[in-house]
Chains A and B, each alone.
With several copies, the nearest count.
Chain A
Amino acid sequence: MVDMRVRIGSIELKNPVMPGSGTMGEGLAHVMDLNRIGAIVTKTITPDKREGCPPPRMVEYRDGSLMAIGIPCKGPDYYIDEILPHYREYGTPVVCSVSAPSVEAFGNLAAKLSVPGVSVIEANISCPNLEEDGRAFGMDAEASARVIRRLKEMTDRPVWAKLTPNITDIAAVAQAVEAAGADAITCANAMLGMAVDVESFQPALGNITGGMTGPCMRPVILRMAWQVARAVKIPIIGSGGMASANDALEYLMVGCSAVQIGTVNFIHPTAMLDVIEGIEAFCRRKGIARVSELTGAMRSRKEYREQQAA
């Protein structure tokens, strides 16, 4: 038996696999048992009501997709009254993702959403569609830290900071949010991309730019997770391009304690279960007793050679 539990600060998850915010919904409960995943992460909530981006909202590629959804949202009250009840019945912690246009509003929203049934607040400081050209809090270490500090003042729930990958030095932002009190870091949100419909000379997306996600982004986001892992001591939740257990193992080995599966849920809604089973099978095969031992288990090539020779 492999011990699949992982600890993210003060909370314990039954296994390290959860969905990325905005990539699950009630529909998932029609396909699988939400008791089996490590956490339920809900779509980002904003203080105001929003319709989201104008269609077309997606472009498909060979190994990923560009989505410009925005954050359609019916506000925090609707979340508490209509969305949360769907998930409260499961024995799985709910991570509530929040986003707001100001530090103040971030804090108020988190306070409002710290209701029974919400175990963690994930701060989406990285959503690329909200600000002009995709600029967001997460693109500035100091602004990111301010959001996290405010959230820590306004809620007693653990706060996860979800970083943007559209940045030069992700390790610097990671250190800033760690210093501001973040309990964990989610690395990372979608990379900003765009597409042109050349036949019509128009942007292919209603919003012009969108978030590029899916397997093809894994190498880039994995590198960022590794950079973050070397820069901070708090737990890291990897998020980017995972489609299989192998992909998730890469994230764990570079230093993540848990992983979020996103785009692939859209294609194989039970993909998270395959990832959980695959990680467990890997541990069994390698004689690893606790999945948490995989965190940061990557060795340098040289070390490895020496060890093999020994």
Chain B
Amino acid sequence: MDSRTQLTSSPFPVAETVCPVLKNDWVNDLYKHLIVEAPHGAAHSEPGQFFHLLCPTIGDKAPFYRRPMSIYRIDKAQGRLEFLYKIVGTGTATLAQLEAGETLNILGPLGRRFDFAKRARHIVQVARGVGLATLAPVAEAAGKLGIRTTAVLSARTPRHLMSVEYLRSMNAEVITVTDSEGTSDVAAVERIVRRLIEKEGGDFLVTCGSNRLLQLVQRLGREYGIAGEVALEQHMGCGNGMCFACVREFHAPEGGITYRRVCWEGPVFDIQEAVSW
């Protein structure tokens, strides 16, 4: 382990690196925002990819495998990576205990990025929960290519909306809907997305974080003949295509159902091939 705790860089695109934690603060009652110094990771990462985090062992909490987290923000200039994560169980609980000045062992970047560069002029994002983290870097990357982004962000309450400021600072338009305000039901989101497609030239749909919203976006995609992608989750072992633990069901292009690895063929998949759950 000694050699490992000194890892800082690697000649390989994917690397296990030990990164200083710069920040690990609450953004609301459920989520924390983690910033690590990771020049290697920041240099190689693309939107939609994830890192596999070695959450520390503390007392009874001993996460054996790493935990996958989407990159929330890639700061290539400063060599930093940011994550936005919800505390749900063992690993995220110990991750939440990390303090600035401590280190975190990360493996990545891993997985397939969003592929909108040549296909989109106006990306419509539909995100909820953890999906807000996953979709955030799309706006920044799209902006650099002159692609417009509108993000429809859904959450339980306004307090649980995240990344609104960040997305706006990247020139994305942001539409927020929440359960507490009664604006987040599928029908309401459907009206918004239809308008974006019909009136605003929305031509590429990305979604993450909600099964109901995935079903909606699949339906609208089919109806309008618009391409799109979804970022999916599954419990992972290696995160690197080796163990086949992270498979989910997909519609095979040749018909029927097939298993694919979320970490390797994904986590970003064609929206119509995804099987909703």
Contact = CB atoms under 8 A, between A and B. Distances in A.
Interface in A27-62: 27-28, 30-33, 51-52, 55-58, 60-62
B62 A57 contact: no
Given A31-B12, A72-B259, A56 B240 contact: no
B245 A26 contact: no
Given A25-B242, A51-B258, A55-B259, 16 more contacts: A22-B243, A24-B242, A25-B241, A27-B14, A27-B110, A27-B241, A27-B264, A52-B259, A57-B244, A58-B237, A58-B243, A60-B65, A67-B243, A69-B244, A265-B238, A269-B14
A104 interface: no
Contact of B241 (A26, A67, A267): A26
Interface string B230-254: 0000110111111111111000000
Decide if the interface of chain A is mainly helix, strand, loop or mixed: loop
Given A51-B259, A55-B247, A269-B240, A31 B15 contact: yes
Interface string B199-241: 0000000000000000000000000000000000011011111
Interface residues of B, number: 34
A270 B10 CA distance: 11
Contacts of B246: 57
B63 A52 contact: no
Interface of A: 22-28, 30-33, 51-52, 55-58, 60-65, 67, 69, 72, 214, 244, 265-270, 274, 277
B180 interface: no
B236 to A, nearest CB: 8
B191 interface: no
B4 A65 contact: no
Contacts of B15: 31
Nearest to A71: B244
A64 B64 contact: yes
Interface string B252-277: 00000011000010000000000000
Given A65-B64, A214-B64, A274-B4, A266 B259 contact: no
Contact of B237 (A52, A62, A266, A277): A266
Interface in B130-159: none
Nearest to B11: A33
A265 B110 CA distance: 15
Contact of A52 (B14, B64, B247): B247
Contacts of B62: 62-63
B263 to A, nearest CB: 8
Contacts of A266: 65, 237-240, 242-243
Contacts of A28: 240, 242
Contacts of B244: 22, 52, 57, 69, 72
